[in-house]
Amino acid sequence: MKKYLLLIGFLFISASAFTQDHSAHIQKADSLVSEFFSEHKLPGMSISVYKDDSMIWSKGYGFADIENNIPVDPSRTLFRIGSVSKTLTAAGLGLLIQDDVLKPDDEIQKWVPEFPRKQYPITIKQVSGHIAGIRHYRGDEFMSTKKYETVMEGLVFFKDDPLLFKPGTKYQYSSYGWNLISAVVENAAQKPFLEYMKSEVFLPLDMNNTVPDWADEDIEHRTKFYIWRNGTNVEAPYVDNSYKWAGGGFIGTTEDLIKFGEAHFDYEFLNEKTQKLLITPQMTSDGKSTNYGIGYSTLQHAGNYWVGHSGGSVGGSTMFLMNKEHRMIIAYTINRSGASFDNLHFRIADIFLNSSE
């Protein structure tokens, strides 16, 4: 597997050390986020913004640990990034496509022969774009507390279930589809999935603070996780996300997400053809756009086209968006379940884009 070493220049800055060019915009954005943080009574939050070929703003709000008054540090505090994990995994899948190890239209059983055949064949591209008919969570599966040692074990939840519809005819979001994608990646790369993600994605992009969320291990700088109950933030129940690394099992910092996003502004890591494949929305058989490519959601706001993903997890809410035309990235994480975003990302974008164009 070809390795890419990107020389990414980052300015790791405190709230008081921003460049003069953006100081007024940053002050306005900081006021907006402070108001949002207070209004929603959040426990802790991190935000990082990239523009003009550098990270121009990175700040923590509130606490990673309320009880012990440990503040959020955007360079070190590890949050559950939820389904943003799909976007990171998509990069790993993209490298295998780019190196012609596998093809997006390969049937799943070519790489995961243990996965039972269904009433219709399904492809890697369909599964990764949520049009294969694989189901999402049911009941209390989202609250799983069991540790799963391998990605193959994580297929147990859904592998024997029938497809919900004929592949390609509908869009229905499925995190379990990405369990299957992790098995594809592992078998195609001939390397355990987590090892592959570390060696081929995280280390080349200097994402040293993006790791699996091992629930039964003490991980330095990992935030505590909260839910909102009876008008206050209380610690979230214990969950073990080892059954779904690819679709929702990583933890990391907003500054690492900025590094990941910056790698998409040139073509050293993922070439132009591969990036286009990943971010281009798929179509259902009736010709309708799904607004979802391979691990990337697509959004439009104020005439601008954004790609990325949101993430929801037990004790975590995350947003990661890139705008390639303006070379801008917005990443924020919250250590509480179900936080309302209130379009904060687009309100921030409006400050920097509308004020500076």
- Tell me what the pLDDT averaged over the chain comes to: 94
Residue 57 contacts residue 67 (beta carbons within 8 Å): no
Q: How far apart are CA 45 and CA 117, in angstroms?
A: 43
Residue 9 lies in a domain: no
Q: From residue 24, how far is each of 18, 81, 149 by CA, in Å?
A: 10, 29, 49
330-352 confidence digits (pLDDT tens)? 999 999 999 999 999 999 999 99
Domain hosting 54: range is 20-356
Residue 53 lies in a domain: yes
45-70 confidence digits (pLDDT tens)? 999 999 989 999 999 999 999 999 99
How many structural domains comprise the chain?
Answer: 1
Question: Using CA of residue 21, residue 78, residue 339, residue 327, what is the dihedral sign?
Answer: positive
93-149 confidence digits (pLDDT tens)? 999 999 999 999 999 999 999 999 999 999 999 999 999 999 999 999 999 999 999
Asked if residue 290 has pLDDT above 80, the reply is: yes
Residue 13 lies in a domain: no
Residue 211 contacts residue 219 (beta carbons within 8 Å): yes
The closest alpha carbon to 212, from 240, 249, 161, belongs to 249
Residue 5 lies in a domain: no
Residue 104 lies in a domain: yes
Residue 4 lies in a domain: no
pLDDT of the residue at 326:
96
Q: What is the CATH number of the domain that holds 125?
A: 3.40.710.10
Identify the band that residue 21 occupies on the pLDDT scale cut at 50, 70 and 90: confident
Average pLDDT over residues 278-297: 98
Residue 2 lies in a domain: no
Asked if residue 33 has pLDDT above 50, the reply is: yes
User: Which pairs with CB-CB distance under 8 Å and at least 24 residues apart come from 111-120?
Assistant: 111/183, 111/184, 111/187, 111/188, 112/180, 112/183, 112/184, 112/187, 114/152, 114/155, 115/155, 115/159, 115/180, 115/183, 116/159, 116/160, 118/162, 118/163, 119/162, 119/163, 120/163, 120/166, 120/167
HSE-up of residue 334 (Cα within 13 Å, Cβ side): 24
pLDDT of the residue at 17:
40
Identify the band that residue 283 occupies on the pLDDT scale cut at 50, 70 and 90: very high
pLDDT of the residue at 8:
34
Percentage of the residues of the chain whose pLDDT score is greater than 90: 92
Residue 265 lies in a domain: yes
Identify the band that residue 357 occupies on the pLDDT scale cut at 50, 70 and 90: very low
228-254 confidence digits (pLDDT tens)? 999 999 999 999 999 999 999 999 999
Percentage of the residues of the chain whose pLDDT score is greater than 70: 94
Asked if residue 310 has pLDDT above 80, the reply is: yes
161-205 confidence digits (pLDDT tens)? 999 999 999 999 999 999 999 999 999 999 999 999 999 999 999
pLDDT of the residue at 355:
56
Average pLDDT over residues 24-48: 98
Asked if residue 5 has pLDDT above 50, the reply is: no
pLDDT of the residue at 354:
83
Asked if residue 20 has pLDDT above 50, the reply is: no
